[in-house]
Amino acid sequence: LGTASVASSTAASKMDQIATMPMSSFGVTMATFAAQNIGAGQYNRIIKGVRQTLILSGSFAIVIGALEIIFGKTLVGLFISGHDPAVMRLSQTYFNVIASSYVLLAVLFIIRNTLQGVGQQAMPTFAGIAELVMRSFAAFFLVGPLGYAGAVAAEPLAWLGSCIVLIPSYLRAIRQLHNLQYMHDQNEQTKRAAVTAEAGTGEHTEISVPNSTQAGPGSHHQSI
């Protein structure tokens, strides 16, 4: 694809790494958040947390993606010298393809890390295989007809392939979390009912003990 393609990818990917760091941080946070709430039995908090984090990370992805597309050439100019027209043009192509797909990456980070946090390790592994398959597809079938744009499209396609694997798994996990929350709530209600019953019984129970000042068959009893 030429030296201009290499230079543009090197420069644009630096900006891409900076832009995606917050989305990655959202994902790592969700892994810890999910694991903590699994331990605490607060399963509904995981679902609510995922929903809110998807909104936050997705909104950030849209905004930062739009900024990269609009100011792509200016941003690349921070990392290269000379402002070669070919490099600037290809860098803009990079941003047009990659930045417009940031929402997929935001979803990928959150869903994958949440599944790992709740103890589901298999599906994230299969998602990695799906990413490899999609990258191979782009290399074999898109680079030829589309050139540089086809090579860059390998990343969004990999994110898409991973999401296709992870989202159904997450939906199944949601159903399991709802069931676990229901059983947890039922257990808590049973415990509270048992404690209330014991407390009520204790209020009306009299225990007779011998009066310490008297002894013998005719001694009085003291109620507690």
Per-residue pLDDT of the chain (224 residues; tens, 9 = 90+): 678 889 888 889 999 999 999 999 999 999 999 999 998 989 999 999 999 999 999 999 999 999 999 998 888 888 887 678 888 999 999 999 999 999 999 999 999 999 999 988 899 899 999 999 999 999 999 999 999 999 999 999 999 999 999 999 999 999 999 888 888 888 888 888 888 887 777 554 444 444 544 444 444 433 22
Per-residue burial over 166-200, b = 16 or more CB atoms within 10 Å of its CB, e = otherwise: beebbeebeeebeebbeeeeeeeeeeeeeeeeeee
Q: Is 14 exposed, middle or buried (0-12, 13-18, 19+ CB in 10 A)?
A: middle
What is residue 129's predicted lDDT score, i.e. its pLDDT? 95
> Taking the CB of residue 112, how many other CB atoms lie within 10 A of it?
24
Residue that the structure tokens 């070669």 belong to: 84
What is residue 92's predicted lDDT score, i.e. its pLDDT? 93
What is residue 220's predicted lDDT score, i.e. its pLDDT? 40
214, part of any domain: no
Q: Which amino acid is at 78?
A: L
What is residue 191's predicted lDDT score, i.e. its pLDDT? 82
What is residue 206's predicted lDDT score, i.e. its pLDDT? 47
111, part of any domain: yes
Structural domain of 73: 3-183
Pair of tokens at residue 153:
């499209």
Alpha helices (H) in 41-76, listed in sequence order: 43-70, 72-76
Contact residues for 102 (Cβ-Cβ < 8 A; gap 6+): 19, 20, 23, 61, 62, 64, 65
Q: Which long-range contacts (CB under 8 A, 24 or more apart) does 35-39 make?
A: 35/117, 35/118, 35/119, 38/117, 38/118, 38/119
Pair of tokens at residue 164:
């296709």
196, part of any domain: no
What is residue 132's predicted lDDT score, i.e. its pLDDT? 95
219, part of any domain: no
What is residue 214's predicted lDDT score, i.e. its pLDDT? 45
Half-sphere exposure of 119 (CA within 13 A, CB side): 7
Pair of tokens at residue 88:
């600037």
190, part of any domain: no
What is residue 85's predicted lDDT score, i.e. its pLDDT? 87
207, part of any domain: no
Give the DSSP H/E element, type plus range, for residue 221: strand 221-223
216, part of any domain: no
List residues bridging with 210 in a β-sheet.
221
150, part of any domain: yes
Pair of tokens at residue 63:
């905004």
- Domain total in the chain: 1
What is residue 218's predicted lDDT score, i.e. its pLDDT? 43
Do residues 104 and 22 make contact, with C-beta atoms less than 8 angstroms apart?
no
